[in-house]
Amino acid sequence: MGGYLTPALLAWAIAQALKVGLTSVRERRLNLRVLAETGGMPSSHAAIVMGLTSAIGRLNGVTSAPFAIALIFSVVVMYDAQGVRRAAGRQAAVLNRLVDDMFSLRQFKEDRLRELLGHTPFEVLVGAALGVAVGLIPL
């Protein structure tokens, strides 16, 4: 069991550490809040699923049924991370503009929606590459 879970969890932990580091450098302050937020560089979702998928491929072979199942699952997760959730983030941006317009007219007050919900394709790619690299290391 550890041969499968360890690479996946390690890839996730590395992605989260990189996310904190990169965000903190960009913002010039330590920002641990990104650990509980979605989105950001690299995608920890892509890292964890590809870490697991790569470990399954290494241990069971890339022609095995478990590898095929994990690969399909990984593609769905990564598509959702950069496609569906990113689209929801764009919709949140539009709604926030509407709220801002209504607020400026003093018609109502409403909290702004979080706009960064998903990942860019590059963030998913980097997370996936990290997961593959960790998953291929015999741990």
Contact predicate 19/34, CB 8 Å: yes
Residue 97 CB: number of other CB atoms within 10 A? 11
Taking only the tens place, the pLDDT of each residue in 9-35 is 999 999 999 989 888 888 899 888 877
Distances (CA, A) of 83 to 46, 76, 77, 80: 13, 10, 10, 5
Contact predicate 81/45, CB 8 Å: yes
pLDDT value for 40? 79
Contact predicate 35/3, CB 8 Å: no
- Local confidence band at 49 (pLDDT 50, 70, 90 cut-offs): very high
- Local confidence band at 41 (pLDDT 50, 70, 90 cut-offs): confident
pLDDT value for 74? 95
Contact predicate 22/8, CB 8 Å: no
Residue 38 CB: number of other CB atoms within 10 A? 17
Mean pLDDT of the chain: 83
Pair of tokens at residue 8: 């996946």
- Local confidence band at 118 (pLDDT 50, 70, 90 cut-offs): low
**Percent of all residues in the chain with a pLDDT value above 90, rounded to a whole number:** 38
The span from the CA of 100 to the CA of 19, in Å, is 30
Q: Is the pLDDT of residue 68 over 80?
A: yes
Mean pLDDT of 55-78: 95
Q: Position 94: which residue type?
A: V
Query: Could you list the residue range(s) of the whole structural domain that residue 22 is in?
Result: 2-135
Mean pLDDT of 84-91: 68
Q: How many domains does the chain have?
A: 1
